[in-house]
Amino acid sequence: MKVILSLDCSTGWTALGLIEGLEPLGEITLSLSHRQSARLPALVDTLLMDSSKNLEEIDEFAVTTGPGYFTGIRVGLSYITGLAYALGKNVACVPTLLAMAFPYLAEGINVAAVLRARTDSLFAAIYRLCGGKTETVMEGRLMTPAEFMSLFSDKDTRSTIFVGNDLGAFFDLEKLSSKALFYSTSPVSGLAIAAIAASGEVESIPPGTVEANYYRGPDIGVAGARKGIKRNRKR
């Protein structure tokens, strides 16, 4: 059975996951801020040791490719592609917003994932499960909070799960809880990233071809970002 090591650094948190086949072996989720790159080697060693595995047993790596925090995306991609290159393994490229939505997917229910972009804007995407497969209702894009909420009628809101640890930065959570089916501000799950990779629903490619999906440059505004949206190759 395939052993997959996953990493997310794009959301302000650091999440690692390890699975064998479909069996979870371990997970680490920490808020490390600017210490991510310095702490990652020790965290990976701890996760592998606790799971009685070593790096040579990893069959595939998985990493979130964005959107999200510019520096965090770069840290995550650099670390995972470096390991994959050294070991001659492929990397599964997982959109950050899909990783956020994945644990909540269910038939007939929309899951809207939200991530802070700037003070006045957010990244958002909407997914649902259809016949056991993940379906993209709205591809990831940069928008204002008002533009995002305008997508939902009262009926749509009541049948939607909203997820993202930045939800409280843009919306009144008490009001959201009274309208939405459910909401969660939990961080991205490393195990969810690994499970997406195991599902085969995203590309697994050589590390030298992995690219970030920033959806914007580090210092440009909403209008410029919309012109520069980069689509994932496969959903």
Q: The domain that contains 128 carries what CATH number?
A: 3.30.420.200
Q: How many CA atoms does the CB half-sphere of 68 hold within 13 Å?
A: 31
Q: Indicate whether 91 and 17 sit together in one domain.
A: yes
Reduce the secondary structure of 109-145 to three states and give it as a string: EEEEEEEEEECCEEEEEEEEEECCEEEEEEEEEEECH
Residue 233, in any domain of the structure = no
How far from the centroid of its chain's Cα atoms is residue 48's Cα? Answer: 21
- Burial of 133 from C-beta contacts in 10 A (0-12 / 13-18 / 19+): exposed
What average pLDDT does this structure show over 12-37?
A: 93
Q: Indicate whether 139 and 206 sit together in one domain.
A: no
Q: Indicate whether 140 and 169 sit together in one domain.
A: yes
Q: How many CA atoms does the CB half-sphere of 47 hold within 13 Å?
A: 28
Q: Indicate whether 91 and 192 sit together in one domain.
A: yes
Q: Indicate whether 92 and 103 sit together in one domain.
A: no
Q: Indicate whether 91 and 113 sit together in one domain.
A: no
What average pLDDT does this structure show over 85-105?
A: 98
Q: Indicate whether 8 and 89 sit together in one domain.
A: yes
Residue-wise pLDDT for 179-190, tens only, equals: 899 999 999 999
Segments forming the whole domain that contains residue 55: 3-96+188-227
Position 95 pLDDT exceeds 80: yes
Residue-wise pLDDT for 154-176, tens only, equals: 778 888 999 999 999 999 999 99
pLDDT for position 65: 97
Residue 21, in any domain of the structure = yes
Residue 37, in any domain of the structure = yes
Q: Indicate whether 126 and 59 sit together in one domain.
A: no
Q: Indicate whether 27 and 62 sit together in one domain.
A: yes
Residue 179, in any domain of the structure = yes
Q: Indicate whether 40 and 148 sit together in one domain.
A: no
Mean pLDDT of the chain: 90
Q: How many structural domains comprise the chain?
A: 2
Contact 76, 70 (CB under 8 A): no
Q: The domain that contains 205 carries what CATH number?
A: 3.30.420.40
Q: Indicate whether 192 and 92 sit together in one domain.
A: yes
Burial 153-174 (b: 16+ CB within 10 A, else e): eeeebeebbbbbbbbeebbeee
Residue 232, in any domain of the structure = no
**Ordered strands of the 204-205 beta sheet:** 23-30, 14-20, 3-8, 60-64, 90-94, 204-205
Q: Indicate whether 92 and 7 sit together in one domain.
A: yes
> pTM for the whole thing?
0.90
Residue-wise pLDDT for 103-154, tens only, equals: 999 998 999 999 999 889 999 999 999 999 999 999 999 999 999 999 998 7
